Structure 1
Amino acid sequence: MSGAAPRHLRKLGLLGGMSWESTTLYYQWLNRLARERLGGQHSARLVIWSDDFGPIAAAQAAGDWDALGRLLATAARELEAAGAEAILIGANTMHKLAPQVSGAVGVPVVHVADATARALRAAGVRRPLLLATRFTMEGDFYRGRLAELGVEASIPSADERTALHAIIYDELIQGRFEAASRAVVVAMTERAAAEGADGVIFGCTEIGLLVAPDDVSLPVFETTEIHARAAMAFAFGD
C-alpha cells in the first residue's frame, strides 16, 4: 500500500555478515517492504554492521560463544550510537547471543524466534520441523523460546542434522546451491511430514536460497522474511 511517509520512520540497526548471503536478503526484504508500504522512492532507514564471517564461523566451531557475545554486544552499541532504534541480528544461529546483545543496548532487539512463533500460531501450525544449523537445532535458545510461545518444533535425525549443517557451512554460505543438496533437504522435510509435522521452519537464513516453498509439501515459514516484516512493523510504529 502506498501513501505518505510516517512522521517518523524508525531507523533499524542490522547485525549482518553472518553470512553476507543472508544479509543481502535482509537488505532486500527491508527495503522492499518499505517501498510496498510507502510506494515511490521510499526505502528503509538502516544502519548495518557487517564483519568477516570466517573468524566468526571458526569461533562458533570452537564453541567460543563468550567472545562472539562480546563482539555482537560491541557492534550493537555502535549501531545504537549511529541512531538505530531497534536491533536485528541477521542470523538465526547468532540469536544464541540475543541476551548479550539486548543487555548491551537500550533499544529493543527484534527476536526472530518470537516473530516466527507468531507467524506459526497465526497459521495454526503447532508441530513444525525446524531446519537450521546444528547450533540452532540442538540448542535450547531457539526451540525453547518457540515452546514458551506454544510451538513444539521437531528436528531431523542426528545424521540429517550433520548433513544439513555441512550443506549450510560448506555450500550455502559460500554461494553454492547444489541440486543434490536440495534433494537432501526436501527428503528431510517429506519424512517429517509423514511423521506428523504440520509445517517447516527455514531456520537458517540461507536455506531459502536452496529450497523454494513449492519444492516441499509442508507450509514453509521463511524466517528472513518473517523477521524483516516484524522489524518493519516496528519501524512503521504498527
Structure 2
Amino acid sequence: MKKLGIIGGIGPEATMSYYSEIIAGYQHRMGSLETLPEIVINSINMYHMFSLLEVQDYAAVATYLADAARELQQAGADFGLMCGNTPHIVFERIQEQVDLPLLSIITPSLKAAQDKGLRRLGLLGTKFTMQHDFFTVPFIRTGIDIITPSPEDQTYIHRKIVEELENGIVLEQTRQEMIRLITTMIHSNHLDGIILGCTELPLLLQNTDIPVDILDIAKLHIQQAVEDICA
C-alpha cells in the first residue's frame, strides 16, 4: 500500500470529502471495514493562493504549493494530489520543483470523457478554471470541444463557489439558479455533458439535476487515488 499525501484546504469542504471518500473507496476495494489507507494531509490557506492568482503571480503560487508537497514527502507520502482543480493552473510548475509524484485531476477526467464518447462539454468552476486553458487544452487536443459560460454567468458561478460552497453553505436558491444556467448552456450549445470543474460543485449539483452526463472531477480523482494507493 502506498501512502497518499493530500494538499488540502482548497477548499476545506473538498478536503473532508476527499478524506472520507478515499477511505470508503479503499475499504470497498479491500472488501473490509477493518482496514484503512495511510493518508497525510497538509491543509494550506486557499485565500492566500487566490490572492496570488488574482495578481497573476503564478511563480509564487507554484512555490507555495511545491513547499506544501515537499512537506508531504517529508511526512512519508509516496505520491500526492491537490484536492482542488484551480491549483492545477500551475501543476507542471509544481511537479518540476518536487520529487513527489502528483496525481493530476485532469487525467482521470479526460479518460472518463473519452470512455463515455462525449464530444461537447460545458465547463463550470472558479473563474481561474473557466478563464484559463490549463483544463481545456488536453480535451481539445483529443477532439473534445469545451464550452464555458458567458462572462456574466462565470462571475455568478465563481462568487457562489467562493462565498458559499467553499464555506459549506448550500442554498436551494443557488442550486435552482445553477440548474437553470446549465440547462440554458446545454440547449444553446448542444452539449452532451457537463464538467463539474470545481471540487465543491458536487455539494450543490447531482446527476439527477442535469439532463446530460455529468463529469464529477472530484469523484474521478478520488477513484484514481484509491487505485494508485493499492497499486
Bin for the TM-score computed over the shorter chain:
over 0.9
**Given that residues 201 and 220 in structure 1 are in contact (C-alpha distance below 8 angstroms), is that contact kept between their aligned partners in structure 2?**
yes
**SS at the partner of 1:211?**
coil
1:99-152 deviation per Cα after TM superposition (whole angstroms, max 9, x unaligned) = 122112223211111110001111111211111111101101111122234432
Separation in 1, partners of 2:141, 2:73: 29
Q: Name 1:62's counterpart in structure 2.
A: 55
Asked if 2 retains the 8 angstrom alpha-carbon contact of 1:202 and 1:208, the reply is yes
CA distance in 2, matches of 1:164, 1:91: 16
Q: Does 1:203 align with 2:197?
A: yes
Q: Which residue is 2:227 aligned to?
A: 233
Partner of 2:68: 75
Distance in structure 1 (CA, Å) of the matches to 2:108 and 2:141 = 13
Whole-Å separation in 2 of the counterparts to 1:236 and 1:150: 32
Unpaired segments of 5 or more residues in structure 1?
1-8
Q: 2:117 aligns with which of 113, 120, 124?
A: 124
- Structure-1 separation of matches of 2:91 and 2:175: 30
Q: Is the 8 A contact 1:131 1:201 kept in 2?
A: yes
Q: State how far apart, in whole Å, the 2-side matches of 1:56 and 1:222 are.
A: 23
Identity of aligned residues (%): 28
Per the TM alignment, residue 50 of structure 1 is displaced from its structure 2 partner at its CA by 0.3
User: 1:231, CA displacement in angstroms?
Assistant: 1.4
**RMSD of Structure 2 on Structure 1 (CA):** 1.4
User: Does the residue aligned with 1:109 lie in a helix, a strand or coil?
Assistant: coil
TM-score normalised by structure 2 residue count: 0.94
Residue among 19, 26, 31 paired with 1:27: 19
Name the stretch that deviates more: 112-121 or 99-108.
99-108
1:143 matches 2:136:
yes
- 1:90 is aligned, of 83, 86, 107, to 83
TM-score by length of 1: 0.91
**How far did 1:197 drift?**
0.6
